[in-house]
Amino acid sequence: MTKEPANLLEDEGFSFLTCMQCGTCTGSCPSGRYTSLNTRRIVLSARRNKDVYHDDDLWMCTTCYQCQERCPRGIKIVDGILTLRAESVHLGVMLPAHRKVAELVMDKGHAVPINDANRANRKALGMDELPETVHKYPQALDHVKKLIKATGFDKLIEEAGEQE
């Protein structure tokens, strides 16, 4: 069962309830200058148990932490936003571009895998064509895949794909 946002955030220790709606977070937010993201409103909505889980604005946060640093109440706003995001993903909300990034890591172990141009660039710089990462060690990639299965992340992404 999905938890009400206020309970979820309080249980995780993000104390959104102590917000006094001063607006410092919103005034500090670089994203809010260009997008509809209004941090103060998210905090208020979460506190009032409105359905923030389906709020598109959650995904406009660059996680720059400026709001959190400046909040006079010391509320862990960004960590809370990440928690709200995760809950919404478990409810089936996932932007297609993010799903693709997740699939890349599941498949290659990297969010940005190597390509031919950069294999050539590495060689031109006198470096090995493949870096010392999972790209060079298949068993290590295998471990990553096993862990993703163990946490059920593969299912989560698969289900999101079916919903699109």
Partner 1 sequence: MKPVSLFLGCIIPNRYPGIEKATKIVLDELGVDWADLKGASCCPAPGVFRSFDKVTWLTLAARNIVLSEQMNRDVLTICNGCFGSLSDANHELKNDHSLVKKINKNLAEVNMEYSGTSDVRHIIEFFYKDIGVGKIKEAVTHPLDIKAALHYGCHLIKPSRERDLGTVENPVFFDELLEATGAKSVEYEDKMACCGAGGGVRSALLDKSLEMSNAKLLHMAQAGVDCIINACPFCHLQLDFGQVEIKDKFGHEYNIPVLHYSQLLAIAMGHSPESVGLDLNFIKKEEFMDKLGG
User: Using CB under 8 A as the criterion, which residues of the chain lie in contact with partner 1 when the complex forms?
Assistant: 30-31, 33-35, 59-66, 68-69, 76, 78-79, 82-83, 85-86, 89-90, 94-95, 97-98, 100-102, 105, 109-115, 118, 121-122, 125-127, 131-137, 139-141, 143-144, 146-148, 150-153, 156-157
Residues 123, 129 contacting (CB under 8 angstroms): yes
Q: Return all residues near 106 (Cβ < 8 A) that are at least 6 apart.
A: 145, 148, 153, 154, 157
| Piece of the chain touching ligand SF4 by CB under 6 A; list 31-39, 99-107, 109-117, 140-148 | 31-39
Residues 53, 65 contacting (CB under 8 angstroms): no
91 binds, among ligand SF4, partner 1, none (CB under 5 to 8 A by kind): none
Residue type, 111: A
Q: Which of 7, 21, 49, 121 binds ligand SF4 (CB under 6 A)?
A: 21
Distance between CA atoms of residues 88 and 5, nearest Å: 10
